[in-house]
Amino acid sequence: MTGQHASTPADPDRELRALLTRPHPHVSPLDPVPNGPPSRPTTTDTTSTDPTPRLQALAASLGQMLGHDDHETLDHTERVATLAARMAEHLGFPAARRDALVWGARMHDIGKLAVPGDVLAKRGPLTPDEWRAMRGHVEAGLAIAESLGCLPRTALLVLAQHHERWDGRGYPARLHGEQICLEARIFTLCDVWDALTQARPYKAAWTAPQAGAELERLAGQAFDPALVPAFLAVVTADI
Ligand SMILES: [Fe+2]
Ligand SMILES: [Fe+2]
């Protein structure tokens, strides 16, 4: 792991809310956009509020609703949550920090509930308006997650930053490097790994070596280069 953390902003909650109003480009995690001005840094946060069992049930229900229209099903959500937990344990996170990361993983695409079903289900190229709607799932998800009022702040940051890239070409805020919180950098690896190694209606599953090579290729671009070897150690431990 990197061992470094961004400086603490004066008002973290204001920082988080600013993500909701910031203009954002239209890209997927693996599709960089042209470089833009860097955004203000955010920080990691190890404080945690235990979500209640009712919240767990709500998250599961939302995930099942999402699975009706999206290629990414509840199974995907559970797999990335499991991967995130394994990474947290590998990196020696205390329980509260691990749980916050896992909650971010569970809720990461909840904003797709606000994306029209025909856009989510579309298999061909998206129009600019459709991409705008699709990329809006980050802000929509953050609004939903914030409204629950009981998720750890780090979980909200994972949700807000899960499409940011190490090289600053992600969205919505074009954060780069350690401006992206560590948990979000970890989660992005989990999310992309699962997308690569699972079959989708439009592609076959990649093998672990193929997916590993892709993560290594994108180290320093999409991903924190210091995290890629740790992640690959985790996912290849039981192969
Ligand atoms: Fe997403
Ligand atoms: Fe995902």
Predicted TM-score of the model (pTM): 0.76
What is the CA(10)–ligand 2 centre distance, in A? Answer: 31
Quick one: pLDDT at residue 123? 83
Nearest-angstrom CA–CA distance, 50 and 69: 30
Structure tokens at 194: 């699962």
Ligand 1 centroid distance, CA of 218 (Å): 18
Nearest ligand (C-alpha, residue 79): 2
| Closest residue by Cα to residue 201 from 72, 31, 62 | 72
Token pair, residue 152, equals 């750890």
Centroid of ligand 2 to alpha carbon of 67 (angstroms): 11
29 CA to centre of ligand 1 in angstroms? 8
List the structure tokens of 210: 């193929």
Distance 72 CA to ligand 2 centre (A): 6
Task: Name residues whose C-beta falls within 8 Å of residue 25's C-beta, 6 or more positions apart in sequence.
Answer: 33, 34, 36, 135, 171, 172, 174
Query: CB under 8 Å to 65, separation ≥6 — which residues?
Result: 113
**Could you identify the residue written with the tokens 């329980």?**
95
| Ligand number with the minimum distance to the CA of 163 | 1
Indicate which residues carry an active-site annotation.
112
Ligand nearest to the CA of 84: 2
pLDDT in tens, the chain (239 residues): 443 333 333 443 444 344 333 333 333 445 444 343 333 334 444 444 555 676 777 776 776 666 655 555 778 888 999 999 999 999 999 999 999 999 999 999 999 989 998 998 888 899 999 999 999 999 999 999 999 888 999 999 999 999 999 999 999 999 999 999 999 999 999 999 999 999 887 789 999 999 999 999 999 999 999 999 999 999 998 66
Look up residue 40 and give its amino acid.
R
Q: How far apart are alpha carbons 149 and 72 in whole angstroms?
A: 25
Distance 221 CA to ligand 1 centre (A): 18
Superfamily of domain 12-19+46-235: Hypothetical protein af1432 (1.10.3210.10)
Distance 138 CA to ligand 1 centre (A): 6
Q: How many CB atoms neighbour CB 22 within 10 A? A: 14
Q: What are phi and psi of 56, to 5 degrees?
A: -60, -45
Ligand nearest to the CA of 187: 2
Domain boundaries, the chain: 12-19+46-235
pLDDT value of residue 181? 98
Res 189: pLDDT: 98
Listed residue (152, 143, 134, 148) closest to 93, CA to CA: 152
